[in-house]
């Protein structure tokens, strides 16, 4: 028996459940193309704003035993300079999902319209960057603003719209319900965190604090998907700390339709996609699962 690894998220057909997360190896079209040809079923672009943004001064990344701490500051070339990168990435013949950020619904709407003109297959709303004032978790922690942003983007979008939410909120289910007009949710973004250089006697990142990603946040991501899936029937893409097939299975068993992989590429390179897919297919055959759908949500019983 051969297991069927294909899945569908909000009408988006994927050849397997593994997507490239926003922020890792998606600075340009060629790096996305490389990851897509290495086995990823789709790629999410880095988060793009209306204007060029330099981000924070170095150091902006700090490796940890349990993952990675970063505060890039949403550095990006601006929407008008990024269309060419999407054009290159689309050569793989797989879905490209455009990630966008803005301080309000008007900015999100303008960005969504422009992203669609580049031929993306879906839009991801970054409502949850934990370290940028005005366009990060401040947007994603206000249920009224979340609802307005999602509704505004949906009104101008002809492709699926996904809302990426933060674990750094008091009530994630409340925020998820506010985003329920989206076609799907992406859970989760990085966890707000900090580390100190004890020799220099100061934070390791120039911004002071940043976002923690990698294996240490996987239990948080699993819990968030579980809570939202128990409360709502909406497509979910799970993300946070995935580095092996077991992690993928966990996310699917608590209700994810697909997953995104980011930090693990930093340690293992694009080959991690084919490696995980091989082990995932083997696991499914051994356990008698004929398709991804048969695993989805089994831990919710």
Q: Which of 299, 178, 171 is nearest to 163 (CA)?
A: 178
Tell me, what DSSP letter sits at residue 82? H
The number of angstroms, rounded, from the C-alpha of 236 to the middle of its chain's C-alpha atoms is: 11
Q: Is 255 annotated as belonging to a binding site?
A: no
CA 124, 129, 133, 137 torsion-angle sign: positive
Backbone angles phi, psi at 210, to 5 degrees: -155, -155
Whether 164 has a binding-site annotation, put simply, is yes
Tell me whether residue 188 is annotated as binding.
yes
Q: How far apart are CA 13 and CA 42, in angstroms?
A: 10
Chain centroid to Cα 196, Å, comes to: 27
From CA 69, how far away is CA 134, in angstroms rounded? 21
Annotated binding-site residue? 262: yes
> Is residue 129 annotated as part of the catalytic site, yes or no?
yes
Selected catalytic residue, list 129, 132, 146, 249: 129
Residue 45 is labelled as binding a ligand: no
d(CA 126, CA 179): 12
Say whether 212 counts as a known binding-site residue.
no
Asked if residue 293 belongs to a known ligand binding site, the reply is no
The answer to whether 240 is a known ligand-binding residue is yes
Query: Is residue 46 part of an annotated ligand binding site?
Result: yes
Strand order in the sheet with 67-70: 61-64, 67-70, 209-213, 191-194
210 has binding-site annotation: no
Token pair 């803005």: residue: 102
Token representation of residue 190 = 């990085």
The reply, when asked if residue 73 is annotated as ligand binding, is: yes
- Ligand-binding annotation for 54, yes or no, is no
Binding positions for FMN? 22, 46-47, 126, 164, 188, 214, 240-241, 262-263
Binding positions? 22, 46-47, 70-74, 126, 164, 188-190, 214, 240-241, 262-263
Binding positions for substrate? 46, 70-74, 126, 189-190
Active site residues: 129
């Amino acid at each position: 028996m051969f297991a069927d690894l294909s899945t569908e998220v909000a009408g988006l057909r994927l050849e397997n459940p593994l997507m490239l997360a926003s922020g890792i190896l998606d600075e340009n079209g060629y790096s996305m193309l490389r990851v897509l040809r290495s086995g990823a079923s789709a790629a999410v672009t880095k988060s793009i704003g209306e204007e060029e943004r330099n981000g924070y001064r170095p150091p902006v990344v700090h490796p940890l035993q349990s993952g990675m701490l970063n505060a890039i500051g949403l550095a990006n070339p601006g929407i008008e300079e990024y269309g060419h990168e999407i054009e290159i990435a689309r050569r793989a013949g797989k879905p490209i999902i455009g990630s966008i950020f803005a301080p309000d619904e008007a900015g999100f709407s303008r960005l969504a319209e422009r992203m669609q003109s580049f031929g993306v297959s879906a839009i991801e709303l970054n409502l949850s960057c934990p370290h940028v004032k005005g366009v990060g978790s401040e947007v994603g922690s206000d249920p009224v603003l979340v609802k307005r942003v999602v509704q505004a983007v949906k009104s101008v979008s002809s492709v699926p719209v996904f809302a990426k939410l933060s674990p750094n909120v008091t009530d994630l289910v409340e925020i998820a319900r506010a985003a329920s007009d989206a076609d799907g949710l992406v859970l989760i973004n990085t966890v707000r965190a900090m580390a100190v250089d004890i020799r220099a006697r100061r934070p390791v990142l120039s911004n002071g604090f940043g976002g923690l990603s990698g294996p240490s946040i996987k239990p948080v991501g699993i819990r968030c998907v579980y809570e939202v899936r128990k409360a709502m029937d909406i497509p979910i893409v799970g993300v946070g700390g995935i580095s092996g097939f077991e992690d993928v299975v966990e996310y699917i068993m608590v209700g994810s339709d697909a997953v995104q992989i980011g930090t693990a590429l930093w340690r293992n390179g694009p080959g991690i996609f084919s490696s995980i897919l091989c082990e995932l297919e083997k696991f499914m055959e051994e356990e008698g699962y004929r398709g991804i759908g048969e695993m989805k949500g089994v831990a919710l019983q």
